[in-house]
Amino acid sequence: MSAIPLGSPLIPIILPTAFTKAESDTLRAANPAAIFVLVTPAATVAQTPPVDLHKDAVNSWLDVIDGIITYAGGAAASIIVSPALAPIVVGLLHMGTAEARQLLLKAPATERWTLAMLMAEPAAARPLP
């Protein structure tokens, strides 16, 4: 079980990608109560956050964060995210996932697929016999 209450605020630290393993280990040892956010190499991921974030996606992230915290015992765990998502994940950790879920429940309804977006979708590709 987690050593800290699930959903409570945490101390997130973004682990610099330039750090060697020894440097990372030193940073972890010096911050036993922190949770580490590892950012994936920039070349492999999109650089901009998605503009149409939706509730289910964020709930999935919260599930993942809670799962990592639970299985890692709440401290010195690592979450691997893309650079675009790192600030959001750090914000969620600062706030605590429980509070974030409450905010999510109270969020007003929105429309992700506008009529213009639907009409801009391309026609399906046509195979040749």
User: Closest approach of Cβ 83 to another protein, in Å?
Assistant: 15
Q: Which residues of 25-54 are buried (b: 16+ CB within 10 A; e: fewer)?
A: eeebeeeeebbbbebeeeeeeeeeeeeeee
Does 80 bind another protein (CB under 8 A)? Our answer is no
User: Closest approach of Cβ 22 to another protein, in Å?
Assistant: 28
Q: Which of 76/99 has CB closer to another protein?
A: 99
Token reading at 93: 């950790």
Per DSSP, 125 falls in state: P
Among 1, 18, 43, 125, which residue sits at the site for another protein (rule: CB under 8 A)?
Answer: 125
Q: Taking the C-alpha atoms of 66, 72, 74 and 78 in order, what is their torsion angle to the nearest 10 degrees? A: -80
- Interacting residue ranges for another protein, rule: CB under 8 A: 50, 52-60, 63, 87-88, 90-92, 94-95, 100, 103-105, 107-119, 121-129
